[in-house]
């Protein structure tokens, strides 16, 4: 159920992000390729005047602050967001940015951290209040609709993670409603296209991967996966507020859904280089390097992650430690054949998984599996039996890891019985 809510809420959240350096191309085909129902007329100039979302001076002013937020320099970023709030106390933008800052404190923990929830909800509630006041004055104010869709979307996402299903459902419905209204700005800025791009992709993805939900999708507009990816790429290269979030989603889609690993790695590298202290971007980069066989670079990034964790840098905690430790363990086991180091890193990966209550993760299971293999290689049957025993307890019965553990323990049992019979004969 959480996966479903994640999918639904994710594609209606036009989250604010940092400016991209690439200038917007003159060809706006990607912005115009929408379904007949969603084609909008460019708003009159008078309706655009005063919109903070399109104010270049504000964008220039906020670029460093949002960079700091994504680089986990929260205090510096929030200081500037609060300065903006003093100048624009009735506008939703500064409150949304403050809420987004709380959100990115939660993200590196795989949404497990609870200590930022109250502030997050408070800032999103204030964003909604300020945007509703704008919307009440003018129902065609698509900037107000943008912030209402965004704030309700983020609120719904966190409520779903906390299993507050009633609140999540209400917020989700409101977010979807305002996303439709915000489409009026599609022709003005890529910011307004972000939600539609994700909807185009994920509405089809859900249809393909969740057949049981197809009856529900009848009530949604038709999507277009290929168009959604093109739109996301366009926003990633041209968006000021939504550029980084688009790269973030594209990276995950390419890696997890589309099997375009090289494209995912390129995006991951650009995010990791631009935001070297963002724990989420760093560990995703390390994982992509690792699975594609770039072991030397994966090792460097993983060591850097653990060093920052030791320094207690913001955002560096057990989840990142689990990733980095496993990667280093595997590299030491298979590249350097340094089994002592590998064993220690595997144990660290297990420790981090237990700290974050993620014992069902692949890294947790495979850490025990590889510890068993190392023990077997070093002819330590007692340790191998222990580790394989754990593997059998935590693995699915049809999995290869379960079968390997069962086979080893069965053969070990036979061997031990044979040795006991030998000893008995000698005594006799």
Per-residue pLDDT band at 420 (split at 50, 70, 90): confident
Which of the 8 DSSP states describes residue 313? -
Least confident of 3-7, 103-107, 124-128, 288-292: 3-7
Whether 95 contacts 85, CB under 8 Å: yes
Whether 99 contacts 151, CB under 8 Å: yes
Q: Which helix (H) or strand (E) holds 264?
A: helix 261-274
Percent of the chain with pLDDT strictly greater than 90? 67
- 107 has pLDDT over 70: yes
pTM (2 d.p.)? 0.85
Q: What are 289-312's pLDDT values in tens digits?
A: 999 999 999 999 999 999 999 999
Whether 257 contacts 244, CB under 8 Å: no
- 86 has pLDDT over 80: yes
Tell me, what's the pLDDT at 288? 98
Tell me, what's the pLDDT at 218? 57
Contacts of residue 127, Cβ cutoff 8 Å, sequence gap at least 6: 92, 95, 96, 99, 147, 150, 151
C-alpha dihedral (330, 335, 337, 340), degrees to nearest 10 = -40
Give the domain ranges of the chain: 2-274, 279-427
Least confident of 90-94, 107-111, 310-314, 424-428: 424-428
Average pLDDT of the chain? Answer: 86
The stretch 200-214 carries a mean pLDDT of 75
Q: What are 128-164's pLDDT values in tens digits?
A: 999 999 999 999 998 999 999 989 988 988 998 999 9
Least confident of 80-89, 201-210, 357-366, 371-380: 201-210
Which of the 8 DSSP states describes residue 190? G
Q: What is the spatial distance between Cα 171 and Cα 101, in angstroms, rounded to a whole number?
A: 20
Whether 190 contacts 239, CB under 8 Å: yes
Q: What are 248-279's pLDDT values in tens digits?
A: 999 999 999 999 999 999 999 999 999 999 99
Q: What are 18-76's pLDDT values in tens digits?
A: 222 223 332 323 332 333 233 233 344 344 557 898 899 999 999 999 999 999 999 99
CB hemisphere CA count around 34 (13 angstroms): 24
Residue 80 has φ and ψ, to the nearest 5°, of: -75, -35
Dihedral of CA 262/264/267/269: which sign? negative
Nearest to 271 by CA among 293, 307, 240, 246: 246
Q: What are 348-381's pLDDT values in tens digits?
A: 999 999 999 999 889 999 999 999 999 999 999 9
Per-residue pLDDT band at 340 (split at 50, 70, 90): very high
Per-residue pLDDT band at 170 (split at 50, 70, 90): very high
The length of the chain in residues reads: 428
Per-residue pLDDT band at 342 (split at 50, 70, 90): very high
- 13 has pLDDT over 90: no
Whether 237 contacts 266, CB under 8 Å: no
Tell me, what's the pLDDT at 412? 94
Q: What is the DSSP string of 57-96?
A: HHHHHHHHHHHHHHTT-HHHHHHHHHHHHHH-TTSHHHHH
Whether 281 contacts 268, CB under 8 Å: yes
Q: How many CB atoms lie within 10 A of CB 268?
A: 27
C-alpha dihedral (76, 78, 82, 83), degrees to nearest 10 = 30
> Exposed (0-12), middle (13-18) or buried (19+): which is 382, by Cβ within 10 Å?
exposed
Q: What is the spatial distance between Cα 95 and Cα 82, in angstroms, rounded to a whole number?
A: 8
Percent of the chain with pLDDT strictly greater than 70? 85
Per-residue pLDDT band at 217 (split at 50, 70, 90): low
- According to the CATH classification, is domain 279-427 in 1.10.10.10? no
Question: When comparing pLDDT for 58 and 417, which is higher?
Answer: 58
CB burial readout 156-175, b (16+ within 10 A) else e: bbbbbbeeeeeebeebbebb
The stretch 216-243 carries a mean pLDDT of 84
């Amino acid at each position: 159920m959480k996966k479903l809510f994640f999918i639904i809420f994710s594609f209606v959240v036009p989250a604010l992000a940092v400016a991209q350096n690439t200038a917007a191309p003159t060809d706006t085909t990607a912005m115009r390729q929408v379904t007949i129902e969603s084609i909008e007329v460019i708003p009159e100039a008078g309706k655009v005047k005063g919109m903070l979302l399109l104010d270049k001076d504000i964008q220039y002013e906020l670029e460093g602050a949002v960079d700091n937020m994504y680089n986990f320099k929260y205090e510096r970023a929030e200081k500037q967001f609060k300065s903006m709030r003093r100048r624009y106390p009735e506008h939703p933008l500064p409150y949304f940015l403050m809420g987004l800052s709380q959100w990115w404190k939660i993200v590196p923990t795989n949404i497990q951290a609870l200590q930022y929830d109250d502030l997050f909800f408070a800032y999103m509630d204030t964003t909604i209040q300020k945007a509703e006041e704008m919307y009440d004055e003018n129902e065609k104010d698509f900037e107000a609709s943008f912030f209402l869709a965004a704030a309700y979307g983020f609120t719904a996402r966190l409520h779903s993670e906390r299993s507050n299903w009633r609140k999540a459902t209400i917020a989700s419905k409101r977010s979807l409603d305002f996303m439709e209204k915000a489409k009026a700005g599609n022709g003005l800025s890529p910011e307004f296209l972000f939600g539609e791009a994700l909807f185009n992709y994920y509405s089809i993805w859900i249809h393909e991967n969740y057949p049981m939900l197809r009856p529900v999708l009848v009530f949604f507009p038709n999507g277009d996966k290929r168009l959604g990816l093109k739109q996301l790429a366009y926003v990633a290269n041209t968006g000021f507020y939504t550029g980084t979030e688009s790269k973030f989603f594209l990276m995950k889609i390419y890696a997890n859904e589309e099997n375009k690993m090289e494209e995912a790695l390129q995006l991951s590298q650009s995010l990791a280089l631009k935001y070297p202290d963002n724990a989420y971007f760093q560990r995703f980069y390390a994982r992509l390097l690792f699975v594609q066989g770039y072991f030397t670079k994966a090792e460097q990034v993983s060591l850097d992650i653990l060093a920052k964790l030791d320094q207690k840098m913001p955002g560096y905690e057990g989840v990142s430690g689990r990733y980095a430790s496993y990667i280093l363990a595997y590299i030491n086991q298979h590249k350097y054949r340094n089994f002592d180091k590998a064993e220690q890193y595997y144990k660290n990966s297990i420790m981090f998984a237990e700290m974050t209550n993620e014992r069902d993760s692949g890294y947790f299971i495979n850490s025990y599996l590889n510890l068993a293999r190392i023990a077997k290689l070093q002819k330590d049957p007692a340790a191998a039996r222990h580790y394989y025993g754990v593997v059998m307890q935590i693995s699915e019965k049809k999995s290869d890891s379960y079968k390997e553990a069962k086979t080893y323990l069965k053969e070990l049992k036979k061997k031990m019985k044979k040795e006991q019979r030998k000893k008995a004969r000698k005594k006799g």
